[in-house]
Amino acid sequence: MSTIEKALQKQREKNQQGSADQAQEETAATAAGNSPAENTADKVEQVQAASPNGNNKREPIVIDQKELKEKGLITDSTERQKIKDEFRYIKRKLLNNAFGSGASSLENGNLVMVSSGKPNEGKTFVSINLALSIALEQDKTVLLIDADVIRPSISTELNISPRKGLVEYLLGEVSNVSEVIYNTSINNLKIIPAGEPHHLTSELLTSDKMSQLTQELANRYGDRMVIFDSPPLIEVNESQVLANLMGQALVVVEESHSKIADIQKAVDSLNEDLAIGFVINKAVQTQKDMYGYYGY
């Protein structure tokens, strides 16, 4: 007996005090494939969601707008948010380099690496907000990738349940990258989680398959920005390899904490052909202050 048939049998037994004949007709119709299409689809979807072995990876990721607001992240509400204005300013430069006047001088301009010199300077916060801001565009989509597979944070910040992601694709456990690209409840936003921890994460990020993936993402959709939340740049060799595959880079700098020497060291490790910008994070703001952003 198939999983679907078992589930229907269980439902029939629960309802046998009602109409046993009607339940038998529904089972027969489903087995024969003669029930209305939308009813059958509903039942199959319910069984898959209930079954521990069901294929749940295609379920969209639900992102709670209330939680976004509580964490200081951009929401899709009509409410005016200062952070929206700040990231609107940042994304305009990136979009121009990817699709506007700056595109002709950049290779893979729609691939943006977000990193920092050292951990805990706010790169994931910037990555998520940048993706949320671009998702508000009417004619663009954005793919947010948790490429910091050593210390992934995006799933935690967005309360995403564990599921296959970048690591599983690079290991060959899934055959097509589309299997780990998840739709979300936010229009125009898709996500590739980091996936399960693995002892070869460093080698995976520097593999030929990762290089091939970035080329596919750069060329597959002409209207898509791809944001990589990447490992810190200092003393993490895979970040420097990853940077060679990008068209643009944002280096997150923590105000009153990041050292000039570290910032210089981080930038020196980047490909000189990259368009590089800086975001000053955790700044003490006045009404006139915004996130610092220094051109290219």
Q: What is the pLDDT of residue 56?
A: 43
What is the rounded average pLDDT of the residues 195-221? 91
Q: Could you tell me which of 40, 20, 42 has the C-alpha nearest to residue 30?
A: 40
Per-residue model confidence as pLDDT tens digits over 79-124: 778 889 999 999 999 999 999 998 988 999 999 999 999 888 899 9
42 and 77 belong to one structural domain = no
What's the pLDDT at 37?
Answer: 41
pLDDT(22) > 90:
no
Residues 126 and 253 occupy one common structural domain: yes
Nearest 5°: the CA angle 174, 176, 177 is 95
- Residue 8: its pLDDT value, please? 42
179 and 32 fall within a common domain: no
Q: pLDDT tens digits, residue range 231-269?
A: 999 878 888 889 999 999 999 998 767 788 888 888 888
Q: Answer yes or no: do 70 and 203 share one domain.
A: yes
Would you say residue 59 lies in a domain? Answer: no
CATH number at residue 88: 3.40.50.300
DSSP conformational letter for 280: E
Instruction: Give the span between the Cα atoms of 38 and 55, in whole angstroms.
Output: 19
Q: What is the pLDDT of residues 151-205, one digit of tens each?
A: 999 999 999 999 999 999 999 999 899 999 999 999 999 999 999 988 888 899 9
User: Residue 19 has what pLDDT?
Assistant: 46
DSSP reduced 3-state for 174: coil
Name the CA radius of gyration of the chain, rounded: 23
Q: What would the two tokens of residue 71 be?
A: 């964490």
Same domain, 207 and 118: yes
Domain count, the chain: 2
pLDDT band for position 286 (cuts 50, 70, 90)? very low
Q: Give the range of the structural domain holding residue 15, as residue numbers without chain letter.
A: 3-50
Q: Do 287 and 248 fall into the same domain?
A: yes
Q: Are residues 44 and 183 in the same domain?
A: no
Q: Give the pLDDT band (50/70/90) at residue 284.
A: low
Average pLDDT, the chain: 80
